[in-house]
Amino acid sequence: MSAVAAPDVETLVLGEPGYGTMTSEIAAPMETRPGAGWLAIFLVSLAALLLGVALITYTIATGIGVWGLNRTIGWGYDITNFVFWVGIGHAGTLISAILLLFRQRWRTSIARAAEGMTIFAVVCAALFPLIHMGRPWLAFWVFPYPNTRGPISVNFRSPLLWDVFAVATYFTVSLIFWYVGMIPDFGTMRDRSKGLKQRVYGFLSLGWDGGARTWQRYEKACLLLAGLATPLVVSVHTIVSFDFATSIIPGWHTTIFPPYFVAGAVFSGFAMVITLLLITRFALHLERYITAVHLEKMAKVLLTTGMIVGFAYSTELFIAWYSDNPFERFTFLNRAFGPYAWAYWVMVFCNVVTPQIFWSKRARRSVPILFAAAILVNVGMWFERFNIIVISLHRDYLPSSWSHYTPTLVEVGILVGSFGLFFTCFLLFVRLAPVIAFHEVKHTVAEQMEAAHAAR
């Protein structure tokens, strides 16, 4: 890790590059042939994606009996993956919207990548309820539309339907936010390319002119969208948690779920942002823009949200004891010491113990430590959802129904396939669109230079 400027003057872009230099450096991945590193990661991702496509085809053609689900455990890998991916999708909008409202300048280098990540994560998330339906060609039944079955409408009191609206709205608004953010940058690309590329970027840039009136409304629109996206982000994982919290399964029926899920989503999302940005930074040589300052701030978010999640785990245990409810007590004892205890302790280790390393400044600025910790947190957060879903279901009220769930290779393969989809989309994105917002990072540099001159 290279040395950075003194902590009192926050240097978010190293070396005060000129605006033109920044344009060419950030546009480089879109204008040069991909390197061996990018190609290697891309081929691995594509292979994983193809595996997923094959196994999903097999599942749909045969039926979801090819999964390890049974009458007691109706939700397993599929819903775990859904909640996991929706959670990953939260950091993007958090970084772009909430940090924009709080005027956190360090977001500019990482916001675009995080927003892209959101889109792809939500696509991965939406895949799982779809294939879990068993007959995905009837998926349109979740939407209220005039039909010949009554005409009977969808049940607007069902949390599963709220989920449809929440995830669909989240996807749409995130897509709008992502695209609107890229319009000036597509304008930049249009003005520096020729031929077909100019036509495509020109089409996407919507005739962007960069005039003062355009910028004025544009900035206002971004601020308004950020204001809308902030409560939206909180609502989405709240509603996802309602899928569980409004049921009467011990371990699910708790009021702590909404804040606990939102904190967990931010935690896992930031872990994934760190993973992706470290890869991007390495593969596209963006060390100038994604600096140790950025890494350190993200590590601090990881530490904070990790402790919130840890606090939620202990609150759950305390309330289970304090409630004096035998079912509730049993559920949590079973979680920590039952047949799936290993999964519980993997979660505790990854999510509560791992982030503690970030009390050390050296760890926060070390690429290998950050990368390893972010991967562990991703693993831990996947297990958190597995624990909530599978462990709570496998032993509920009726001991004669108790059962065990083991995923089949098909389910594991589909999870791998969803990672393939996610990384394939992301890797294509970094080649086709500016992964760092030209206008935002130039603005940051302008302010940085202004501050430096004022200090002199």
Partner 1 sequence: MPPVDSFLAPSGSPRRRIHTLAFENPGATLEAVHRLRAEGFEVHDVFSPFPLHGMDEALGLAGTRLGFATLVGGLFGAAIAFGFQVWTHAIDWPLIIGGKSPLALPAQVPVSFELTILCAAFATVGGLFVRRRLFPRLTGERPLAQPDPRVTDDRFVVLVVERNASFSPARFRELGRALGSVEIVEGWRTL
Q: Among 71, 149, 213, 362, which residue interacts with partner 1 (rule: CB under 8 A)? A: 213
Q: Report the C-alpha gap between 135 and 165 in whole angstroms.
A: 20
Contacts (Cβ under 8 Å, ≥6 apart) of 29: 284, 430, 431, 435
Q: Report the C-alpha gap between 371 and 352 in whole angstroms.
A: 17
* In the complex, least distance from residue 436 CB atom to partner 1, rounded to whole angstroms: 13
Q: Among 126, 232, 303, 436, which residue interacts with partner 1 (rule: CB under 8 A)? A: 232
* In the complex, least distance from residue 52 CB atom to partner 1, rounded to whole angstroms: 29
Q: Among 40, 43, 50, 206, which residue interacts with partner 1 (rule: CB under 8 A)? A: 206
**Neighbouring C-beta atoms of residue 248, cutoff 10 Å:** 9
* In the complex, least distance from residue 83 CB atom to partner 1, rounded to whole angstroms: 17
Q: Among 207, 337, 339, 368, which residue interacts with partner 1 (rule: CB under 8 A)? A: 207
CB closer to partner 1, 102 vs 337: 102
* In the complex, least distance from residue 156 CB atom to partner 1, rounded to whole angstroms: 5
Q: Among 5, 228, 308, 375, which residue interacts with partner 1 (rule: CB under 8 A)? A: 228
Binding mask 10-49 for partner 1 (x = CB under 8 A): --------xxx--x--------------------------
* Entry field: residues in the chain: 456
Contacts (Cβ under 8 Å, ≥6 apart) of 309: 260, 263, 264, 267, 351, 352, 384
* In the complex, least distance from residue 220 CB atom to partner 1, rounded to whole angstroms: 5
- The token pair that represents 66 in the structure block: 């090819």
* In the complex, least distance from residue 443 CB atom to partner 1, rounded to whole angstroms: 4
Handedness of CA 30, 34, 40, 42 (dihedral sign): positive
Q: Report the C-alpha gap between 286 and 436 in whole angstroms.
A: 9
407 within 8 A of 77, measured Cβ to Cβ: yes
CB closer to partner 1, 21 vs 406: 21
Task: Say which residue the tokens 């970094």 belong to.
Answer: 430
Binding mask 118-157 for partner 1 (x = CB under 8 A): --------------------------x-----xxxxxxxx
One-letter amino acid of 74: G
Binding mask 431-450 for partner 1 (x = CB under 8 A): -------xxx-xx--x---x
* In the complex, least distance from residue 447 CB atom to partner 1, rounded to whole angstroms: 9
Q: Which parts of 165-204 interact with partner 1 (CB under 8 A)?
A: 165-166, 168-169, 172-173, 176-177, 180, 183-184, 187-188, 190-192, 198-204
Q: Report the C-alpha gap between 103 and 412 in whole angstroms.
A: 41
CB closer to partner 1, 38 vs 106: 106
* In the complex, least distance from residue 431 CB atom to partner 1, rounded to whole angstroms: 20
Q: Which parts of 53-112 interact with partner 1 (CB under 8 A)?
A: none
Contacts (Cβ under 8 Å, ≥6 apart) of 125: 81, 82, 83, 84, 85, 86, 88, 89, 167
Q: Which stretch binds partner 1 (CB under 8 A): 70-78, 208-216, 270-278, 408-416?
A: 208-216
CB closer to partner 1, 185 vs 316: 185
- DSSP, collapsed to helix, strand or coil, labels residue 65 as helix
Q: Which parts of 282-321 interact with partner 1 (CB under 8 A)?
A: none
CB closer to partner 1, 146 vs 326: 146
CB closer to partner 1, 204 vs 319: 204
Q: Among 225, 263, 348, 379, which residue interacts with partner 1 (rule: CB under 8 A)? A: 225
Q: Among 50, 101, 224, 409, which residue interacts with partner 1 (rule: CB under 8 A)? A: 224
**H or E stretch covering 238:** helix 212-245
Q: Which parts of 237-256 interact with partner 1 (CB under 8 A)?
A: 239, 242
Specify the DSSP class assigned to residue 286: -
CB closer to partner 1, 10 vs 191: 191
Residues that contact partner 1, how many (by CB under 8 A): 71
Full DSSP string of 146-205:
--SSSS----TT-HHHHHHHHHHHHHHHHHHHHHHHHHHHHHHHHHH--HHHHHHHHHHH
**Alpha-carbon separation of residue 126 from 15, 56, 110, 241, 307 (angstroms):** 42, 14, 24, 16, 29
* In the complex, least distance from residue 186 CB atom to partner 1, rounded to whole angstroms: 9
Q: Report the C-alpha gap between 8 and 1 in whole angstroms.
A: 19
CB closer to partner 1, 72 vs 214: 214
- The token pair that represents 414 in the structure block: 């589909």
Q: Report the C-alpha gap between 261 and 83 in whole angstroms.
A: 9
**H or E stretch covering 375:** helix 367-386
CB closer to partner 1, 36 vs 248: 248
Q: Report the C-alpha gap between 132 and 78 in whole angstroms.
A: 7
* In the complex, least distance from residue 349 CB atom to partner 1, rounded to whole angstroms: 35
